[in-house]
Structure 1
Amino acid sequence: MTRTEEKTDGKGLAIAAESLFLLNLLFPVLPLIVLGFLYFRHRNSPRLLVECHVKQTWIMALLSTALFVIINLVAYWMGGYQSLDNLVSIHSLVALEAYTLLVILPFAVPGLLGLTKAMSGQCYRFPFLGKFL
C-alpha cells in the first residue's frame, strides 16, 4: 500500500484512535483529550474506516473515563483518600479492583479486537455500543 492510499483510507487514523482508547483505559483523561481532538477534527469524515473507529472509541473512552470518575468518587465518599499518608486505604484498593474488573477487562477485549481490525483495514463494531450508532 502506498502512502497516498494510506492517507485516503484512514487506516493510520483508525489505528491511532484504537491505540488511544486502550491507553485511556490505563491512563484516564490524557489520551481522552487527544482522542477528543481526533474525533472533533474527523467526525464528518467520508471515510467509513475513520467514522467507524474514531466515533466508537471516542464514546467508549468517555464511558470508561466516566466510570473511572464514578468509582473514585464512591471510594472518596466511603472514607478513602482522607490524606496522603493514608492513600493506600481499603477504599482506594477496592476502587482500584472495581475499576480493573468492571472497566479495564470488559473494555480491553473489544478494544484489542478493534485494534486488530483497524490494523487490517476493516471496520469493527463494539459489541455493546455498535448497535446504537
Structure 2
Amino acid sequence: MSSEDDFGIPEEKLGQGLAVAAEALFLLNLLAFPGLAFAVLAGLWFKFRHSAPPLARQHLKQATWVSFWGGLLIVGLSAIILAAGGLQSEWTWVTLILYFTCIHSTLVLFGMYALIKALNGQTWRYPLIGPTVDGENTGKSS
C-alpha cells in the first residue's frame, strides 16, 4: 500500500523521492509537457513547501523557481527580440533561434545535473537564477 508521499523512488535519504520527482518534472516541463508539468511541479511546491524534508524542499524550491524564471527568460526576451526586429527580418529569426536554443539547452543541461544530484541525495543550486539554498552563505557577516 503506497502512501500519499510515496513517489516511487527508493530513498537513501529522507525526501529523496520527492526531490527526484521535482527535478524530473522540471525536465518534463522543458522537454515534453510545458505548462502541464509546471502546474504539477507548482502544486507539489505549494503542498510540500513547509512539510517536506530539507532535501526535497530544496529541490522543489529550485525546480519551481527556475522553471518560473526560465520561462520568463525564454518567453519575455523572445518577445523583445521579435518586437525589436520585426517578423519579416531574417536576422530576427536567426537571433531568436540562437537565443532560444542556447537558453533552453542550458536549462536542460542544468536540469539533468540537478536530477543526478537528487538521485544521489545531494542538494544543488541552479547557477544565476536559482534561489539560495537554505543555510547557504549569503555573504553577510553575522
Pairwise same-fold verdict (TM > 0.5): yes
Question: Do the aligned partners of residues 131 and 43 (structure 1) sit closer, same or farther apart at CA in structure 2, a change above 3 Å counting?
Answer: closer
**Distance in 1, Cα, partners of 2:107 & 2:61:** 15
1:31 aligns with 2:37: yes
Greater than 4 Å deviation, 4+ residue runs: none
* TM-score, length-scaled by structure 2: 0.69
Residues 63 and 46 (structure 1 numbering): CA distance in 2 closer, same or farther, change over 3 Å? same
Q: Structure 2: where are the runs of 5+ without partners?
A: 135-142
Q: Does 1:95 align with 2:86?
A: no
Matched, 1:108 2:108: yes
Q: Provide the alpha-carbon RMSD of the alignment.
A: 2.7
User: Share of identical aligned residues, percent?
Assistant: 33
Q: Number of residue pairs matched?
A: 122
Specify the code of the residue in structure 1 equivalent to 2:107: F
TM-score, normalised to structure 1, is 0.73
Match of 2:139 in 1: none
Query: Which ranges of structure 1 fall in alignment gaps of 5 or more residues?
Result: 83-88
Task: Find the aligned partners of 2:21 and 2:94 in 1 and give their Cα distance.
Answer: 31
Q: Give how far 1:75 is off.
A: 4.1
Measured after TM superposition, the shift of residue 30 of structure 1 is 2.6
Task: Quote the Cα distance in structure 2 between the aligned partners of 1:132 and 1:53.
Answer: 9
1:30 maps to amino acid:
L
> Out of 37, 57, 63, which is 2:69 matched to?
63
The Cα offsets for residues 24-43 of structure 1, whole Å up to 9 and x where unpaired, read as: 23354232211111111111
